[in-house]
Amino acid sequence: MERPENDEGAEWRRETDENRFMCARDGDMICAPFQCEECWFINLMKRKSCDWSLGDKRILGYIRRVNLDVFWSREKSTVRSNLGSLRKGYRLSKELGMPPIAFRQGPWKVADGQGMQIAIEVLRASQEKGRNDETYVQFDSIRKIRTAYSNLFESSLGGARTSRTFKGGYGKTFALTSSPTDSLLFRMFMKGCEKRMGRLVNQDLGISIEVLLEMLRMYEMELWNDKTSTSRRRDLVMAGAAFVALFGGALRGGEILLAEATELVKRQEDGKYHSKHPHVVLPLMGRFKGETGERNVLLVMANTTSSGLEIRKWIERLGTLLRREGRHRAVGPAFCTRTGFVFERWRLNGILHETLGKIQVNRPDLLAPVIQVEEKFSIYRSFRRGATTRAKEAKVSEPTIQMNNRWRKVQNRSGGLPNLPMSELYVEISQALGSRTRFSKEL
* 191 and 216 both lie in a single domain: no
Report the pLDDT value the prediction gives residue 6, as an integer from 0 to 100.
44
| Total-model pTM | 0.64
57/23 Cα distance (integer angstroms): 18
* 252 and 191 both lie in a single domain: no
Domain end point (choices 162, 197, 232): 197
Report the pLDDT value the prediction gives residue 328, as an integer from 0 to 100.
81
Which residue blocks in 181-306 are alpha helix, DSSP H? 184-197, 209-224, 230-248, 253-256, 261-266
CATH number at residue 369: 1.10.443.10
* 288 and 310 both lie in a single domain: yes
Q: What are phi and psi of 164, to 5 degrees?
A: -135, 140
The answer, yes or no, to whether the previous bond of 107 is cis (omega within 30 of 0) is: yes
74/58 Cα distance (integer angstroms): 26
Residue 166 DSSP symbol: E
CB 80 within 8 A of CB 33: no
Digitized pLDDT (tens) for each residue of the chain, 443 residues in all: 665 544 444 555 566 667 788 888 898 888 889 999 999 999 999 999 998 999 999 999 999 999 999 999 998 889 999 999 999 999 999 999 999 888 888 788 888 889 999 999 999 999 888 776 778 888 888 889 999 988 888 888 777 776 677 777 767 777 778 888 888 999 999 999 988 887 666 677 888 889 899 999 999 898 888 888 888 888 899 899 999 989 888 888 788 888 888 888 888 888 888 878 888 888 887 544 444 444 567 788 888 888 888 988 999 999 889 888 888 888 888 888 888 888 888 888 888 899 998 888 888 888 888 888 888 888 888 888 888 888 888 887 777 777 666 544 433 333 444 555 555 556 556 666 777 777 888 87
Residue 357 is assigned to a structural domain of this protein: yes
Report the pLDDT value the prediction gives residue 58, as an integer from 0 to 100.
94
Domain that holds residue 187: 17-99+110-197
Return the biggest CA–CA distance within the chain.
100
Residue 10 is assigned to a structural domain of this protein: no
* 381 and 259 both lie in a single domain: yes
* 318 and 256 both lie in a single domain: yes
Residue 265 is assigned to a structural domain of this protein: yes
Report the pLDDT value the prediction gives residue 421, as an integer from 0 to 100.
58
Domain end point (choices 197, 228, 246): 197
Residue 378 is assigned to a structural domain of this protein: yes
Residue 58 is assigned to a structural domain of this protein: yes
* 135 and 249 both lie in a single domain: no
* 213 and 176 both lie in a single domain: no
Query: Residues, the chain, total?
Result: 443
Report the pLDDT value the prediction gives residue 7, as an integer from 0 to 100.
45
Residue 3 is assigned to a structural domain of this protein: no
* 184 and 220 both lie in a single domain: no
Residue 368 is assigned to a structural domain of this protein: yes
* 287 and 153 both lie in a single domain: no
* 350 and 213 both lie in a single domain: yes
Look at the chain and report how many structural domains it folds into: 2
* 28 and 123 both lie in a single domain: yes
Q: Where are the beta strands (DSSP E) in 96-172?
A: 164-167
Domain end point (choices 151, 171, 197): 197
